Amino acid sequence: MKHFMVQYPAREAFRPYARFGGGIYSRCLALSKSLKGLRVIHINSTASGGGVAELLKNQIPLEKDLGLASRWLALREPKRFFFVTKKIHNLLQGQKGFLSDPEKNYYLSRLDEPGRELRKILNTPGKPTVVVLHDPQVLPLINFLFAASAVIVRLHIDLSSANKSALKFLRPFLEKADRVIISHRLYRPVWLDKNKTTISYPAINPFSDKNREIASGKISGLFKHFGIDETRPIATQISRFDPWKDPEGVIQAYYLAKKELPKLQLVLEGAMEAKDDPQAAAIYNQLTMEYKNDPDIFLHGGKTLSDLSYQTWINALQRRADVVIQKSLREGFGLTVTEALWKGKAVIGGNAAGIKVQIKNGRNGFIVKSPSECAKRMVQLINNPGLARTLGKSGKNIVRKNFLFNRLILDFLEIYTEISPTKV
Ligand code: UDP
């Protein structure tokens, strides 16, 4: 395939999710029976790096295990395309500015070929298929679908203060969707039909290498590998190097907290894998230049481990850190928050809609509005491990109830069922 890469994530059984609530589990089995063999094509912009790829890696094998014929196509585009789509992403998250006509034309024309290829894949016009388009990078593909396809648009970004001109540009595509899924009620554009909009939160796989329990010896081995002193306090943020994730703000908070905790170390983990985020390298390089002389700041911008060890490293870092931070200024959801909560960590999150879905201030972590507030909470949590444990315990329960993959699968099966009578 020239314009898409077909992804084949590892097999995964749905059965183990039975332990997280028989109700959801049996409802999924019942719905999937009547959806057996349904063709579902998920399309997004990158096969690795970032939350969407993380979700699809898990969602597709589970849908397949339940009998659906689901598959995953990732876009194959040059860097220039992703510079434009990152600009669209930034505008939608609230940045000032606008898309120029050449940018719009380039973005749309680049999707002509993939669009034609998609038509060939769908090929048999009468054969019902559900196409799920994840995020604006692939949204214009909606114009290439046959009438027999039902279309879901899954927007993962924070649209709470979206730039109106960017939203207006995307409006004709969004209005063509049979269903638009967003992660927060605040993200629904006022003109988008409420009945066509569903709020569904992302979720994590508790059995994956990134999230399952790991032996403490393994954790120590990985910290040794990276030269990080496990006997001293560790704060971390695991995120793409992106302005909305506010890595600068995290570093400012670290320096303020270090005044009270001189032994504090900071790990900023941001493997630059996501090819749809060409901004990351510049931010990483600038931070590296600025802070290279501080031996207690660990800026990780690349993957130096095999994929399996890398997932285990993220797991180890979230488990061992004294404080996990996700100081985003905007955040569609932020899987990293749920990942850390699942590991019993109290998380310090930025004042962003997606994060506030997961962190209830003072109950399972803290919401902060500035580096100084962040620093205060870092010191408080590191000095009070008992408090951190209590908050962390409550966080794990919140995740068990709301943010595991059984719930996400149920949401999608319900939507597939609801949109099927008319079109599929
Ligand atoms: N992630 C990772 N390494 C990194 C940064 C992020 O493995 O250096 C993973 C992280 O564990 C999570 C996903 O990438 O599973 C990021 O998803 P999130 O929703 O937090 O943010 P996004 O990148 O989609 O904005």
Q: How confident is the model at residue 125 (pLDDT cuts 50, 70, 90)?
A: low
Q: How confident is the model at residue 124 (pLDDT cuts 50, 70, 90)?
A: confident
160 lines ligand 1 (CB under 6 A): no
Q: Which one of 90, 205, 308, 314 would you pick to mutate in the ligand 1 pocket, going by the greatest count of ligand atoms within 8 A of its CB?
A: 314
270 lines ligand 1 (CB under 6 A): yes
Q: Which one of 45, 54, 154, 279 would you pick to mutate in the ligand 1 pocket, going by the greatest count of ligand atoms within 8 A of its CB?
A: 54
Q: What CA–CA distances, in Å, run from 283 to 26, 45, 333, 339?
A: 46, 21, 22, 24
**To which residue do tokens 């990158």 refer?**
46
Domains delineated in the chain: 4-203+404-419 (3.40.50.2000), 216-402 (3.40.50.2000)
Q: Which of 373, 413, 395, 399 is nearest to 59 (CA)?
A: 413
- Provide the strand spans (E) within 212-259: 234-238
Taking the centre of ligand 1 as the mean of its atom positions, its distance from the CA of residue 242, in whole angstroms, is 11
318 lines ligand 1 (CB under 6 A): no
Tens of pLDDT, residue by residue over 264-305, are: 999 999 987 888 899 999 999 999 999 999 999 999 998 888
Q: Which of 175, 171, 172, 179 is nearest to 131 (CA)?
A: 179
- The structure's pTM equals 0.97
Tens of pLDDT, residue by residue over 366-381, are: 999 999 999 999 999 9
Q: Which of 270, 240, 276, 239 is nearest to 44 (CA)?
A: 276
Q: Closest Cα to atom 23, ligand 1: which residue?
A: 50
Q: How confident is the model at residue 148 (pLDDT cuts 50, 70, 90)?
A: confident
Is the separation of the CB atoms in 404 and 204 below 8 Å? yes
Q: Which of 414, 269, 412, 258 is nearest to 336 (CA)?
A: 269
Q: Counting atoms of ligand 1 from 1, which one is nearest the CA of 210?
A: 11
Q: Closest Cα to atom 4, ligand 1: which residue?
A: 270
249 lines ligand 1 (CB under 6 A): no
> According to the model, what pLDDT value does residue 424 have?
46
Helix (H) or strand (E) holding 266: strand 265-269
Q: Counting atoms of ligand 1 from 1, which one is nearest the CA of 272?
A: 8
Q: Which one of 155, 239, 331, 359 would you pick to mutate in the ligand 1 pocket, going by the greatest count of ligand atoms within 8 A of its CB?
A: 239
Tens of pLDDT, residue by residue over 44-63, are: 999 999 999 999 999 999 99
Q: Closest Cα to atom 14, ligand 1: which residue?
A: 50
Tens of pLDDT, residue by residue over 328-357, are: 999 999 999 999 999 999 999 999 999 999
Is the separation of the CB atoms in 28 and 409 below 8 Å? yes
Taking the centre of ligand 1 as the mean of its atom positions, its distance from the CA of residue 335, in whole angstroms, is 7
> According to the model, what pLDDT value does residue 126 have?
63
Check whether 83 has a pLDDT greater than 60: yes
Q: What is the DSSP letter of 236?
A: E
Q: Which one of 59, 205, 336, 341 would you pick to mutate in the ligand 1 pocket, going by the greatest count of ligand atoms within 8 A of its CB?
A: 336
Token pair recorded at residue 176:
């063509």
Helix (H) or strand (E) holding 42: strand 39-44
Averaged over 11-19, what is the pLDDT?
97
Check whether 179 has a pLDDT greater than 60: yes
Token pair recorded at residue 282:
């510049």
Averaged over 406-419, what is the pLDDT?
97
